[in-house]
Amino acid sequence: MTPYFNIIMQRQSILVIKFFTMTNDPNDAFWLAQVYYSKGDYQMARNLLSGSQFEESVSCRYLSGLCLLKLEKYDEALDVVGESNPFKKDHHVKNTDGGIKLEASLCYLRGVIYARQNNFEKAKESYKEAVEVDVKCFEAFHELISNSMLTPDEELNLVSHLDFEDADNNADLVKLLYTTLLSKYGNVHKFENAEQRLKDEYNLEENVDLMLARTDLLYVQCRFQDCLELCRKILSKGDLNLQVFPNYLSCLYETGGKNELFLAAHKLAENYPNSYITWLAIGTYYFSIGKVNEARQFFSRASILNPSFGPAWIGFAHTFAVEGEHEQAISAYATASRLFPGSHLPTLFLGMQYLQMKNITLAQEYLNLSLGICSLDPLLLNELGVLYYNEGDLNKAEVFLQKALLSSQNLDSGAKAWCSIHCNLGHVYRREKRYRLAITHFNEVLHMSKGESDVYSSMGLIYLKLGHVSHSIGLLHSALAINSTDAIATELLNKALEINLKLRNSKFIDENTGSVLENKTKEQYVKRRPSNFSTPKDSKNDSQFIRESIDNISFVASDPSGVDNDNDNGDDVMELDTD
């Protein structure tokens, strides 16, 4: 505070004190306590309002509870504001000044106190009561929506029962603004209609709140690059907008923007050193560069500063998951799932953890819960495909992986997601012996990423089964060039070389493809080298010796999926990719 401001506050407090000593009126006490509160003298304001004569004044109770909240005396604050809402029925009289009803503010304050006590269920009910008492109590509505305290259906039901007439002539505007904040999982058409009306009828094309709502939609749709560009546009408008940072930081992590993450964290630390958003940013940066322990510390600080902040809890859980500490990760994800029922991410990550632990029953339960909230996330659909693959249900695995692939294409997801889905589809088709489709998807993986040794191994096995021995040998050499310790590729290569040697001693072999030539001479065969990794035609020249040799391959690795594939002739060693 400037000296000039202090002088004004001092003179104002002297005047109000004189009025209060003359009248001893609760209203004058309220105004005097407000002066103390504005100066930061919370204990003095609380002492002033602690008399029994102020208990009937809603304004005095509210300000007294606010002072106790600042003093972190949560139990005492709850005693002052009450543990339940006494205004459920008697709140229909509008404020003459058009402001927010004090009864609604009291309910909101009760919600904040419960949240500080980590009683999030009662906090949720208090926030709902606040916005039901007065629809203009936006702070309560924002807490419910931004912290995913309600499921998408509960959000829609709440908005449909709110009395927007309390907003007077702005009823339609307020309803449209509230609609744009609803969950983007199942209310996309409602959001887009409301957004268009706000732009056309109220000229809110460049409104920051509207752009923030659009970033939520883009992030849910996995359109990380588009979301990142819009976040940058919001930040370019001037002051740091803290509301944009959760999506902004997540998109930077997804797109690999480590330098920009560092700059964002540095700027936040400089301007908001005590904000939980700052600790989230620093934790995200450390997590992106692989410093997991440091990231865990900063995510933990963010969750302590704001226990109802979902991204901090999820980031904290990620630090355990990436190190394979499944029990700790599950505990943190379960807490996030309990606190944020409106988000599909905690249950998705719980399902992924249980899937890695081979607990198919719990994995399926949590992944289906996540699917009930969000049905278009390609990561979720991919995990469901992996789950059914591990169960041996290849038909369902194919269905979900095809949905994941379609969702990735429609939602402009990154190449990383495409790569994993194509790879998994390739394994499914390989297990179904639909080799041409399998190779098509494996080729897509190689076009996106050349460093996939297991893909080369899988293709080497397929070409070996189809009788293209030389081609198989080349692919297996490529696999070992990437990962020289790949036991599967080594075992397959040894067997392929053995088959190739024996066949060359007994059969004519096409020098270009390595295929066996039966009932033909070399002169009758038209030599033609196929393009690399082209989809082979089903060869009818495979000898019985090749089939028997492949069927008898003894693999070093055990089946990682835990599925009994004794009749799969060695296919069981290939594992699906999970993100």
Per-residue DSSP letter, 529: P
pTM for the whole thing? 0.79
> Does position 15 have pLDDT exceeding 50, yes or no?
no
The confidence score (pLDDT) of residue 258 equals 95
pLDDT band at 524 (very low <50, low <70, confident <90, very high): very low
Higher pLDDT, 144 or 513: 144
Higher pLDDT, 177 or 94: 177
**What are the pLDDT digits (tens) for 422-457?**
999 999 999 999 999 999 999 988 888 777 888 999
Query: What is d(CA 278, CA 258) in angstroms, rounded to the nearest whole number?
Result: 16
Question: What 3-state class would DSSP assign to 516?
Answer: strand
Residues 76, 77, 78, CA angle at the centre, nearest 5°? 90
Question: What 3-state class would DSSP assign to 520?
Answer: coil
Which tokens sit at 48?
């002033």
- The answer to whether the CB of 408 falls within 8 A of the CB of 417 is yes
* Residue-range domains of the chain with CATH: 376-573 (1.25.40.10)
- The answer to whether the CB of 37 falls within 8 A of the CB of 45 is yes
- The answer to whether the CB of 127 falls within 8 A of the CB of 149 is yes
DSSP assignments along 204-273, one per residue: -TT-HHHHHHHHHHHHHTT-HHHHHHHHHHHHTTSS--GGGHHHHHHHHHHHT-HHHHHHHHHHHHHH-T
Of 543, 540, 534, which is closest to residue 506 (Cα–Cα)? Answer: 543
Query: What is d(CA 431, CA 392) in angstroms, rounded to the nearest whole number?
Result: 10
The confidence score (pLDDT) of residue 509 equals 53
- Helix, strand, coil abundance in the chain, percent, nearest 5: 70, 0, 30
Question: What amino acid is encoded at 511 in this protein?
Answer: E
Phi, psi of 508, rounded to the nearest 5 degrees: -80, 135
> Does position 533 have pLDDT exceeding 50, yes or no?
no
Query: What is d(CA 137, CA 422) in angstroms, rounded to the nearest whole number?
Result: 48
pLDDT band at 547 (very low <50, low <70, confident <90, very high): very low
> Does position 278 have pLDDT exceeding 90, yes or no?
yes
